[in-house]
Structure 1
Amino acid sequence: MQQGSDRQPAAARGARRWPACAAAAAVLVAALAFQAVRIPTLEHDVVWAEDGAVFLRGALDDPVGSMLAPYAGYQHVLPRLLAGAVVALAPIGSYAAVVFWVSAVVAALVCAGTIPLARWAVPWLPARVALGLVPVVVPLMAPEIIGNLADLHTFALWLGVWIALSMPASRLESWLIAVAALLAAMTEVQLLLMLPVLLLRIHVRRPLLWPVIGGFLLGLAGQALSWLLAPRRGYEGVPIGIPDVVVGWLANVVMPTVRPEEQGIREAFAAQGPLAAAPILAGFALAALVVLVWGSWRARLAGAVVLLASASSFGGSLLASPIEQFQYASMQGEDWLTAIVDLRYGGAAGMLLAAIVPIAAAVSVERLSGRWLLLARPVLALGLAAFIGAMAWQSPGAGSHRSGVEPWSEQIARQAAACERGQDPGVLFIAPYNRELVLDCPSITGAQ
């Protein structure tokens, strides 16, 4: 009898976990498929910015030493590790295509990982499914986020936020999350924003949390050291104030969640100013009100964290890269017609803002009961599907900054032929806007 009773709880736990595992698998497949469709096939074979100029060159020139080399003030461990693996295992001519798919897989894994990570703060599974899909929908409003190594730090920020809010259920899960925390923190410097959350959770008497917090803090220490030793440089240093951050957040984060067309946003702000974002902001404000007033303390913590992280990550990006174009508060009328409103900094901030909607849905399910709950569950699930679907449907309106660049494989083939003839290989072109990259013949042909 005792043996049977021991098996029963394990079986019950397995039965409870199966729906979550199935949901995570479905999110993984959906996220990967969506990224593949969102970026046209021909553009999968285009190298993006730092993927060539920084990570590819580092992997070619100094495979080991480049792994912990700071760039733009902080560590990019995950992109450097992946670039090194691609260079070691794949021909140089397939670098762009392999990087696209590797990056898409990593983003899809982040989406799937959100399902178990958000379990503690967001118990309702349909809300966690919606959360899992947010990272591949909202960032696409900024037309350069997916399919490249350079912007994996955006997904690392999302992942780190949910790691900071997670509660491991086993020792194995605890150590797996700890490794993910270390990689995320060593890839995205703005996860320093999670330090107060980590310090708050140290007081929770759950030993399974300690490896997670330890991995997180170790990664953050590495980022802080890199920032001190190799600070971000090369910007004009113009004054950026809180009003600039607020108006810029409305234009680059709030508006693009449901209206991604750059020119449409510019024209709306030219005509109405920041008030153009008011109807969309009102919807998010209502969801935030539900969470912060009606939610459990766990839901309130999650809601406060995602909202503050959305504002702080966007504001921190502007303050760390101060240029005249970011002085949004001073823009009036026709100034907006040439404003930057597809800023990639809005990608992570948009993810975190959109997260408040599924959290609010989960809070509603927790608080309702009886016939109201029976009615609310399908209605809220359909509402979440409509919310995610609307953003996914509109995301192609953001366009792609990869267009107009010759496929990488064709350029490499031509350069390799030139090398075989004893000629200089010439210039390679990468996105965005046909930036130039030069590789020597040994790198192109694979000669040692």
Structure 2
Amino acid sequence: MERRADPPPSSRSGHRGAARRAHRPLGPASAEAIVALVVLVGAVATAWWRLGAVARGTAWAEDGGLFLRERIAHGVDGTLLRPYGGYLHLVPRLVVDLAVHRPIEQYALTVSAASCVVVGVVAAAVFVLSRDVLPGRTMRLLLAAVPVVLPLAPVEIAGNAANLHWYALVLVPWLFAYRARSWWSAAVVAVLALAATLTELQAVVFLPLLALAWWPAPRGAPGRADGTGRSDGAAVRLRALPVTLAAIGGGAAQVVTALTTERASERGYPAPSDVVAGYLLQPVAGLWDRRVAPVGAAVAEHGPWVLVGPALAVLALLVVALVVAPWRARVLLVALAGGSVVVWTAALLANAPADGRWSTLDAVGLAAVGPSRYAAAAGMLLLSAVVLSAALLVDSGAGRVRRTRTGGAAPVLRSALGWCVVALVVATSVTNAAPGASTRSDGPEWAPQVRDAEPSCRADPLRVLEVRTAPWSAQVPCALVLRDR
């Protein structure tokens, strides 16, 4: 029998090397990217599901109104940086432009899907950017989930372009504070920061956090050394330049727009008691019940301690976390919690309809109070602060026990408190997860109206359709309907 010749030693070593490379475990960066992708997909799916079928197919407010009307009249180049309501709306304008390029019958579904994708990007970005403060992935997953699990989100702000600007506020603190590990990551963060600041005026509130991006990393921390392993503090700090330029440039454009553009909304003059009572009744109560009215009825029956008690508990949690957290985490905690109060107060000052005269509501008014869209952004920031506090307590307690072996009772109690808060947040999110009543849950759905109007468009191609939306209507030229037929 003929015997096969053995391969040369160099060939055998080459095969063994290829086999080792094939079975080599993923590096930290690759694993992080894969988890971030899973977060993005999971967040998009969750946001999409929480809307409900009817809401997904219903166009909301400016999506079918001013944004669509101006896009049809002025094109994409004439609308991307076109002011509305006193500021710029870059990302919502991009979403509407994408939807116009797709079959107009699917306009509402496209806007809903694209808006959910934007929220998914926000969640994935928070997951990646928060690792300077929370190295462990488990807590970062919960922190990243905040924009999609917030009970108030599907009521009005989720799944539509008109309210995407609120989600920028939960992302910008992490963008501004992030220490980039490479020039590629610095460029991506700068692009996201520019998009966020050109979408939401109140992002300028977080500009001081840019100092954290320039602050040198502690010795031995990730990102301290460059790709060759040599420490180069100046080069690392310079990676903060792109996000700084993007944030300041976008913020300046918003400020100039706000100063030179007249707002149609009437300014509010809330009393301090209305600001405080409204904050407790809307962003705080909205953390555990998206309907809000049952909480108001409980306040009417049992007194203000129904709200004051949980608010004091949240405040105590934040204080304990501030005591044990590293300085960088403390700054972000203050920014998130303080930003929540600032955003809520600014909403009442800038928009008279946002002030429900919360402090003067009687029992009937409290039992009938509905959720406010102005509470969603403040609620996301507050819930982010709560989750971050719980994560810091868990990490602090576990880290102390590992370092000292025994650790004592205090670290164990801190860790237990953190896990209890995590369990409470998860339970509340699950309770409010299913699709429920919202501003779009009763329609009117977009696609059937466009399909039913097709024969009349063929009879008169110059006709302009009146398509009903929630709560207004859209003017759609028949040319767009026939374009896709």
Do both proteins adopt the same fold according to a TM-score greater than 0.5, normalized to the shorter chain? yes
| 1:157 to 2:188 alignment | no
Q: Which residue of 2 aligns with 1:400?
A: 438
Following the alignment from structure 1 to structure 2, what is the Cα–Cα distance between the partners of residues 374 and 182? Answer: 42
Would you say the 8 A contact 1:46–1:402 is kept in 2? yes
Would you say the 8 A contact 1:123–1:362 is kept in 2? no
Q: Which residue of 2 aligns with 1:431?
A: 470
Q: Which residue of 2 aligns with 1:312?
A: 342
| 1:71 to 2:95 alignment | no
Deviation at 1:316, TM superposition (A): 0.6
TM-score of the superposed pair, with normalisation by structure 1: 0.88
In structure 2, runs of 5+ residues without a counterpart are 1-23, 217-233
Q: Which residue of 2 aligns with 1:131?
A: 143
Following the alignment from structure 1 to structure 2, what is the Cα–Cα distance between the partners of residues 273 and 181? Answer: 43
Q: Which residue of 2 aligns with 1:188?
A: 200
Q: Which residue of 2 aligns with 1:9?
A: none
| 1:440 to 2:471 alignment | no
The two structures, once aligned, show a CA RMSD in angstroms of: 2.7
| 1:22-33 superposed matches below 5 A | 22-33=34-45
TM-score of the superposed pair, with normalisation by structure 2: 0.82
Would you say the 8 A contact 1:412–1:444 is kept in 2? yes
Following the alignment from structure 1 to structure 2, what is the Cα–Cα distance between the partners of residues 175 and 437? Answer: 38
Following the alignment from structure 1 to structure 2, what is the Cα–Cα distance between the partners of residues 411 and 391? Answer: 35
Shift of the 277–374 alpha-carbon distance from structure 1 to 2, 3 Å rule, reads closer
AA in 2 matched with 1:310: S
Following the alignment from structure 1 to structure 2, what is the Cα–Cα distance between the partners of residues 333 and 397? Answer: 28
Q: Which residue of 2 aligns with 1:217?
A: 248
Would you say the 8 A contact 2:50–2:435 is kept in 1? no
3-state secondary structure, aligned to 2:238:
coil
| Corresponding residue to 2:371 among 332, 337, 342 | 342
Deviation at 1:59, TM superposition (A): 1.8
Q: Which residue of 2 aligns with 1:412?
A: 450
Following the alignment from structure 2 to structure 1, what is the Cα–Cα distance between the partners of residues 328 and 178? Answer: 10
Following the alignment from structure 2 to structure 1, what is the Cα–Cα distance between the partners of residues 311 and 259? Answer: 37
| 1:5-84 superposed matches below 5 A | 15-63=27-75, 64-84=77-97
- Alignment coverage as a number of residue pairs: 431
Following the alignment from structure 2 to structure 1, what is the Cα–Cα distance between the partners of residues 92 and 353? Answer: 26
Following the alignment from structure 2 to structure 1, what is the Cα–Cα distance between the partners of residues 316 and 292? Answer: 26
Would you say the 8 A contact 2:152–2:371 is kept in 1? no
Would you say the 8 A contact 1:75–1:186 is kept in 2? yes
Tell me the alpha carbon deviations over residues 127-184 of structure 1, each in whole angstroms, 9 at most, x when there is no partner: 2111100110116456011111111111111111211221111110011100100000
Following the alignment from structure 2 to structure 1, what is the Cα–Cα distance between the partners of residues 386 and 64? Answer: 37
| 1:3-402 superposed matches below 5 A | 15-63=27-75, 64-88=77-101, 90-138=102-150, 140-141=152-153, 143-198=155-210, 206-235=237-266, 237-323=267-353, 325-339=355-369, 341-364=370-393, 365-367=395-397, 368-370=400-402, 384=422, 386-396=424-434, 399-402=437-440
3-state secondary structure, aligned to 1:438:
strand
Following the alignment from structure 2 to structure 1, what is the Cα–Cα distance between the partners of residues 371 and 316? Answer: 25
Deviation at 1:419, TM superposition (A): 1.7
AA in 2 matched with 1:342: P
Following the alignment from structure 1 to structure 2, what is the Cα–Cα distance between the partners of residues 355 and 324? Answer: 23
Following the alignment from structure 2 to structure 1, what is the Cα–Cα distance between the partners of residues 434 and 296? Answer: 18
Would you say the 8 A contact 2:155–2:439 is kept in 1? yes
Would you say the 8 A contact 1:287–1:360 is kept in 2? yes
Following the alignment from structure 1 to structure 2, what is the Cα–Cα distance between the partners of residues 167 and 401? Answer: 39
Shift of the 15–282 alpha-carbon distance from structure 1 to 2, 3 Å rule, reads farther
Tell me the alpha carbon deviations over residues 191-225 of structure 1, each in whole angstroms, 9 at most, x when there is no partner: 11112323575566611111111111111011001
In structure 1, runs of 5+ residues without a counterpart are 1-11
Following the alignment from structure 1 to structure 2, what is the Cα–Cα distance between the partners of residues 380 and 197? Answer: 25
3-state secondary structure, aligned to 1:439:
strand
Task: State which structure, 1 or 2, has the greater radius of gyration over its C-alpha atoms.
Answer: 2
The sequence identity of aligned pairs, in percent, is 28
Following the alignment from structure 1 to structure 2, what is the Cα–Cα distance between the partners of residues 73 and 284? Answer: 34
AA in 1 matched with 2:452: R
Deviation at 1:68, TM superposition (A): 0.8
Deviation at 1:79, TM superposition (A): 0.9
Following the alignment from structure 2 to structure 1, what is the Cα–Cα distance between the partners of residues 332 and 29? Answer: 22
Deviation at 1:389, TM superposition (A): 4.2
